[in-house]
Amino acid sequence: MLAEYQRSARTSSTRVSIIVAARNEEVNIGNLLNDLLKQNFSSELFEVIVVDDFSEDRTAEIVSSFQNKNLRLLQLENFLKTDEPISSFKKKALEMGIQNATGELIVTTDADCRMNNNWLHTLVNFFEEHQCKMIVAPVLMRAQENFFQKFQTLDLIGLTGITGATLHLNFPTMCNGANLAFTKKSFYEVDGYRGISEKTSGDDMLLMHKMARQWKRGVLFLKNKDAAVFTEPQPSLSSFIRQRMRWTSKSKVYEDPKIILNLIAVLLFNFSLLVSLILSFFDHELLMVFLIQFITKAIMDFAFLSQVTKFFRRQQLLWLFLPAEILHIIYIVIAGIAGNFFTVKWKERIVK
C-alpha cells in the first residue's frame, strides 16, 4: 500500500511557476487566484502565470484587477502566428506559460479549482525530497448536494485511488492536469507536447506517459490530503458524459500496449455486464452469469473504495455505492465507445 507522505518543516528553496490556462472562467478565476496568492510559501519563490485562451468574458479583466507582483497575465493570441494551425489551444497556452516561466518546478492547475494554504508547500516539499521528474497529486470534488454530485465525487475518488495505486506499481495509466507538477528541464527533455499536440486533450496523461517512458520511477504520486485540489462536479448528465468522452478520446494515441490492453479489457468487461443483463430477460440462465460478474466486480470495487474514501474522509459516500456501481458500468461503456468514435464539443470547441 502506498504510504501517506508526511510534509516536513524544512524551508524550501525551489522556485515555482504555477501555470493556469484559462478560457471563459470569469466565475471561477478570482477564487483560484485568491487561493494561490494566499499559499504558505515564500512570495519570493513562486509566480502565477495565467494564459488567457481567447476568453469571451471578463476572465482577463479579473486577472488584471489583482495587480499582484507574483501574478502575470499572458494573452495566447499574442504568441500565435496568424496562419498557425492549432489542434490543442490548451496545450499551446500551457506551452506559452512554460516558455515564459522563471521557475524550476512547473505546477499546473485549472481555473475552476480550489486548494488549501499548504498545497504548494506540500508539493514542493515532496519534490525536494524525492527529486522526481513529475508529481501527480489528488483531484477531488467540493460540492455534494444531490445524488448526481455525490456520484461524481465518489467516481473521481475512485479514479484518484487508481491513479495512485498504478503509479505505486510503476504502471502509470492516468493523471489530472488540474494538479500536476514537473520540472521545466524534464518538460523540454521529452520535447514537451511534440508528438501529442494533434490531440485536443491529453496535456496531462500523454505528457506523463512520455516522462514515464523516459525515466523509470520518474513519475510519483503524492498521497497527502493537503496536496489535493478541489473542483466542481459537472452540472448535468450530458456535460458529464462529454467530459468523460473527452478523457477517453486521448486513448487513441496511447503508445504503451499494456495500457491499451488494460483499457480494452475494462471496456469489454463492462460491456459484457450490460449484454449479460439485457440478454437475461430472454434467457434466465444468463442472469446467473450477470450476477457472478457484477458481484465479483462490486466486492473488489467496494473494498478498494472503502480504503480510498477512508483516507480522504469521505466514507459517507459509500451509502450510494450500489446505484453508483450500476451507473459506472453504463457510463464506462457509453464514454468508452463514443469517446473513440465521435467528436465532442468542450468550451465551444470540437475535441478530436
Residue 20's nearest CA partner among 197, 244, 231 is 231
**Alpha-carbon distances of 148 from 22, 153, 274, 299, rounded to whole Å:** 26, 9, 21, 22
Cell 471578463 identifies what position? 58
Ranges of residues in the chain with a pLDDT under 70 are 82-87, 198-201, 344-352
Residue 88's nearest CA partner among 102, 100, 101, 76 is 76
Could you tell me the domains of the chain?
16-233 (3.90.550.10), 258-351 (no CATH)
Q: What SS3 class is residue 25?
A: coil
- Kindly report the backbone phi and psi dihedral angles of residue 180, in degrees, each rounded to the nearest multiple of 5, phi listed first: -140, 145
Q: For residues 219 and 133, what is the distance between their CA atoms, to the nearest angstrom?
A: 6
The confidence score (pLDDT) of residue 346 equals 64
In tens, the pLDDT along 225-246 reads 999 999 999 989 889 988 888 8
Q: Are 75 and 190 in contact (CB under 8 A)?
A: no
The confidence score (pLDDT) of residue 259 equals 86
Q: Are 293 and 276 in contact (CB under 8 A)?
A: yes
The confidence score (pLDDT) of residue 84 equals 66
Q: Are 12 and 42 in contact (CB under 8 A)?
A: yes
The confidence score (pLDDT) of residue 338 equals 83
